[in-house]
A and B are shown apart, each in its own frame.
Chain A
Amino acid sequence: MLENEALNTDNAPLRNIYRFGENAEIALSTHDLHVFYGDNEALSEGDLEFERYKITSLIGASGSGKSTFLRSLNRMNDNVATVKGQIMYRGIDINSKEVDVYEMRRHIGMVFQRPNPFAKSIKDNITFALKQRGMRDKNKLEEIVETSLKQAALWDQVKDDLGKSALALSGGQQQRLVIARAIAMKPDILLLDEPASALDPISTSQIEDTLLELKEKYTIVIVTHNMQQAARISDYTAFFHMGKAIEYDETRKIFTRPKVKLTNDYISGNFG
């Protein structure tokens, strides 16, 4: 708190965006990103970089553009909004027509706020997309079902009834199944849009544990309205306000010594 008070409001910058060093491995970055819903600009100048094998949180009040930003990253907004600017992934701009959007989404997966398992068995939920991509080897499929369920910390609870309908699971279990389904595709990057906001505290903490384990193998970007959650699990945090990324820094710094007054106001609960 002392450090917070040290923030000199007169000299505070209006924006502060963290830049990674030369050696950092950047999994995904955006340049001059603008999102329009019709004529309304919902997001502008989202210039952010995401480091590999780290968890990055996007925080901000509702309507701040954080979800819009996240959903643009794997082009889930294509049908509802106009997205301008570049999204660089492995040296190519994936926000261009040359890039195959379905192939791209296999590498940049997404998990949503409300659990959305298919009305199929637990097993089929995981294998379905793989089968569509031509994987027929039964042993391999079974192996993937097991490993991805284990990674999502669901295996022990469902291993005896994999044939059961996924809709019979509890909300928290459904959300972990959805995470297992996403990682079964072996993506590079996992985008999560408030994945725990519809869940009870116990399920939430289980999901957080899962994410911390997944970090070993995946780059994770997560939108959350829960600041404690962002502080607990993420390495970097970006604060969004009125369609702009205002401050982006190491999570530790954001929550202890923010450089921008707006960020300070937000995390100390003065608005939002």
Chain B
Amino acid sequence: MDQIRESLLKTSIGTKRERFGRSITMAALILIAVVVISIFYFIASKGLSTFFVDKINIWDFLSGKTWNPGTTDAHGKPEVGALPMIVGSFLITVLSAIIATPFAIGTAVFMTEISPKNGARILQPVIELLVGIPSVVYGFIGLTVIVPLQRHIFGGSGFGVLAGTIVLFVMILPTVTSMTVDTLRSVPQYYRESALAIGATRWQAIYKVILRAATPGILTAIVFGMARAFGEALAVQMVVGNAPILPTNLTSPAATLTSILTQGIGNAVMGSMQNDVLWTLALILLLMSLVFNIIIRVIGKKGELK
């Protein structure tokens, strides 16, 4: 029998290496999946024990207005109403996104449509740098600039919804802007040319054609920014005041899910009810990031259909 024929029927070193490579890369991928699953499992099992082990009514938890896990109210129930933090988180997130959106779109339009040269040369690198700035730095600036300013203008402590909103607005602005720029750049050039060719002014081309075409991408950028704002912990915690009460106006101190969480988790004993309720806040955060994820997916799908 010839040698080649025999070698064809044996397992070659190539095949062995292929099996090895395929297995270890697959193991790496599965490891990531396992991590994601365990994050959900661990946080959900901790977070749900508030309701199943400590027997706290889920509705009371979500709608209660007093947060004071160490004490009980007149009926002997623990005071664990998470509504102030839920409201605080949503309020600050939505407000910062509302302020950031026009600035982000305006700047992005300026960078891509009005002055592409300066946009690419000056603004782009600055924005990229700012996207990478650690959030504690934003928090620190909020603490040294925004909080004293708020105190000076509106009185009070200076900590509160307004300070948190401004810090988050500045923090998400670079991210939303740079994602919007990417979207606008992906609008085909002939859209602009055909709009201008039929006699539209530049603004008409921008407003009626380019921004319409880029709407799904811009929405994605905004939701992405909101997700970042909602999940931001330290920068907000440094300026928001961390008072778990329903905010009555923009300058009153407030708390967010993340701020109460970072502050409290080190102080409560593992397994106690005071600790479990904090994990429930973490679970809400986790679920909200899932919701933001789904919204982005839905926008992406709708954008594809067009």
Chain A interface (Cβ < 8 Å from any Cβ of B): 89-92, 94, 98-104, 107, 132-134, 188
Given contacts A90-B2, A102-B18, contact A134 B13 (CB under 8 A): yes
B5 within 8 Å of A (CB atoms): yes
15 contacts between A and B (CB under 8 A): A89-B8, A90-B2, A92-B8, A98-B9, A100-B7, A100-B8, A100-B9, A100-B12, A100-B15, A102-B12, A103-B8, A103-B12, A103-B14, A133-B13, A134-B13
Look across to chain B and name the residue whose beta carbon is closest to the beta carbon of A107.
Answer: B4
**Nearest residue, chain B, Cβ from A89:** B8
Q: Which residues of B contact A (CB under 8 A)?
A: 2, 4-5, 7-15, 18
A107 to B12, CA, bound (A): 13
> In the complex, how many angstroms separate the beta carbon of B207 from the nearest chain A beta carbon?
45
Contacts of B8 in A (CB 8 A): 89-90, 92, 94, 99-100, 103-104, 107
Bound together, the chains give a CA A103 to CA B11 distance in angstroms of 8
Which of the listed residues A89, A98, A99, A102 has the most CB atoms from chain B within 10 Å of its own CB? A102
Bound complex: CA of A89 vs CA of B10, how far in Å? 15
Report yes or no: B14 in contact with A99, Cβ–Cβ below 8 A. no
Establish whether residues B4 and A188, one from each chain, have CB atoms under 8 Å apart when the complex forms. Answer: yes
Nearest chain A CB to B17's CB is how many angstroms away?
A: 9
CA distance A163 to B34 in the complex (A): 46
Q: Chain A's nearest CB lies how many Å from the CB of B4?
A: 6
Closest B residue to A101 by beta carbon equals B15
Q: Which residues of B contact A100 (CB under 8 A)?
A: 7-12, 14-15
Complexed CA–CA distance, A103 and B7 (Å): 7
Q: Which residues of A contact B5 (CB under 8 A)?
A: 90-92
For B18, what are the chain A residues with a Cβ–Cβ distance below 8 Å?
102
Least Cβ distance of B120 to chain A in Å? 29
Query: Given the complex, which residues of B lie within 8 Å of A91, measured CB to CB?
Result: 5
Q: Which residues of A contact B10 (CB under 8 A)?
A: 100, 103
- Please tell me which one of the listed residues B2, B9, B13 contacts residue A99 in the complex, with CB atoms under 8 A apart: B9
**From residue B6, how far is it (CB to closest CB) to chain A in Å?**
10
Contacts of A89 in B (CB 8 A): 8
Shortest Cβ gap from A198 to chain B (Å): 29
On whether A102 and B2 interact (CB within 8 A), knowing A90-B8, A92-B9, A94-B8, the answer reads no
- Min CB–CB distance B143 → chain A (angstroms): 51
Chain B residues whose CB sits within 8 angstroms of the CB of A94 once the complex forms: 8
User: Cβ of B2: which chain A residues have Cβ within 8 Å of it?
Assistant: 90
A129 CB, nearest partner CB in chain B, Å: 10
With the chains together, A20 CA to B15 CA distance in Å? 35
**Residues of chain A within 8 A of B15, CB atoms compared:** 100-103
- Chain B positions within 8 Å of A92 at CB level: 5, 8-9
- Chain A: CB-nearest residue to B11: A100
Q: How far is the CA of A133 from the CA of B4 in the complex (A)?
A: 15
Give the 5 A-B CB pairs with smallest separation, nearest first.
A102-B14, A103-B12, A100-B12, A90-B5, A102-B12
Residues of chain B with a CB closer than 8 A to A132's CB:
14
Instruction: A103 to B8: give the CA distance in the assembly, Å.
Output: 6
Contacts of B4 in A (CB 8 A): 90, 107, 188
Separation of A98 and B8 alpha carbons in the complex (Å):
8
Q: How far is the CB of A91 from chain B (nearest CB, A)?
A: 6
The CB with the most chain A CB atoms within 10 A, among B2, B4, B7, is that of B4
**What residues of chain B lie closer than 8 Å to A134, measured between beta carbons?**
13
Query: Which chain A residues border B11 with CB–CB below 8 Å?
Result: 100
Contacts of A102 in B (CB 8 A): 12, 14-15, 18
A70 to B74 CA separation, bound complex (whole angstroms): 85
B223 to chain A, nearest CB (A): 36
Inter-chain CA distance A272–B242, complex, in Å, is: 77
Q: For A91, give the chain B residue with the smallest CB separation.
A: B5
Q: Which residue of A lies closest to B5 (CB)?
A: A90
CA distance A89 to B9 in the complex (A): 12
- Once the chains are docked, how many angstroms separate the CA of A99 from the CA of B12? 10
Smallest distance from the beta carbon of B21 to chain A beta carbons, Å? 12
Bound-state Cα–Cα, A92 to B5, Å? 7
